[in-house]
Amino acid sequence: MKNRKEQGKANAIPFVKPFAREQASRCVVINQRGKLLRQAFHWKAEEGLSNEMIPVRLKERGLILFRQRISEIFRNPFYCGLLAHNMLEGRVIEGNHEKLVSKEIFLEVNGLLDKNTHGYKIKEENDAIPLKRFLLCDHCGKPLRGYIVQKKNIHYYKCCTIGCGNNKSAKSLNQTFANILEAFRLDVAKDLLTLIKNQTIATFNQLTKGQEDEHQLLQKQHKELTQKINRLEELYIEEEINADLYNKYAEKYTLEKKEIEQHLVNAAKQVSNLEECVDIAIGFASKLPFKWLSADYFTKQQIQFLVFPEGISYNKKTDECRTTRINSVFSYIAHLQQGLSQKKSGIPELNLDYAALSASVAGSRIELPTSGL
């Protein structure tokens, strides 16, 4: 095993199996799961997406991983083509396997690469610039960064792409976003809230009827893990692997299986908790702008991506914002709110009229929040 590692050959592919072996050539190639993990590295490096939000995006694309596993993946140099092991006595060997990401991306994800060469000060988790990495440049599509000009003590959002020149004071864009959230604030009489709640539940049940749910995906992964554990035991009994390898992977597989079993229990409760989820959504919407303004940096980021999963684009030339997607439950609430109040302006800050909101609700699946933030 030591000789193989010194030659750059991996004895085992990491647990999440981002690679597959081609039978004909015996080469190790990146599979679909590996491509999703590569995206996760780029989300972290380029958008600054938190380890809590990354599993949410991966789940939407069919890969279920937990936050602890994500942290472990980001720290493993195997994914940038390197091999590190206690057998190598502190040495790092260039591997023969295909790199999932470049060394630069790996270093940036782990906070080891300083890209700030413009002389301004960047502070992570600054409450004055909560929209950083959530706002996108309308020209190049890259996330805007936040910074402070020390001489003026003014915060700005800025696109770092050379030539874009897309920047704006944070105070102005923060206020614009607060104005946008006003469109989703459910401000109606209490007797109407019951009707809205009942209609939301009925619409959710209608739109999700007959669709494959998370429970089926979890069951499939649980079955695969059970097969892996059984196969591992067979290899150990047949003495094809030693006790150290068996204990190492048996512990990982068992932990992963327990986590999936817990999620299976939670998924089974989703239908019975539908009414509670709707209560959370309606209660949240009734105080949405206040919740965002009074929240800390991390909670603000959660609210932003909850309402606008793909962020908001900003164009300095036209001083306009736009978005490609609104969480359906909040779009639905805005549609109801505007219908009840007979508003026809839509969301002017996003250049959305009433008809656009109606179209976004029709035929879409309502995505209910599962926690009160």
Per-residue pLDDT tens over the stretch 99-131: 888 888 888 887 644 444 444 444 556 788 999
Determine contact, residues 366/328, Cβ cutoff 8 Å.
Answer: yes
Instruction: Please report the DSSP string for 269-305 in residue order.
Output: TTTTTHHHHHHHHHHHHHTHHHHHHHS-HHHHHHHHH
Residue 363, pLDDT above cutoff 70: no
Give me the half-sphere count of Cα atoms (radius 13 Å) on the Cβ side of residue 159.
Answer: 20
Residue 216, pLDDT above cutoff 60: yes
Q: Whole-model pTM?
A: 0.52
Determine contact, residues 276/346, Cβ cutoff 8 Å.
Answer: no
Indicate the domain borders of the chain. Answer: 2-109, 214-268
In this structure, the number of other CB atoms found within 10 A of the CB of residue 120 comes to 12
Residue 357, pLDDT above cutoff 60: no
316 vs 204, residue with greater confidence: 316
Three-state SS at 147: strand
Residue 270, pLDDT above cutoff 60: no
Please compute the mean of the pLDDT values over residues 233-246 and round it to a whole number: 83
E strand or H helix at 4: helix 2-6
pLDDT over 70, % of the chain: 71
What's domain 2-109's architecture? Alpha-Beta Complex (3.90)
Q: What digits encode the pLDDT tens for the residues 279-330?
A: 877 777 778 888 898 888 888 888 898 889 889 999 999 999 999 888 877 8
Tally DSSP H helices, then E strands, for the chain: 14, 10
Determine contact, residues 83/92, Cβ cutoff 8 Å.
Answer: yes
- pLDDT in the model for residue 146: 86
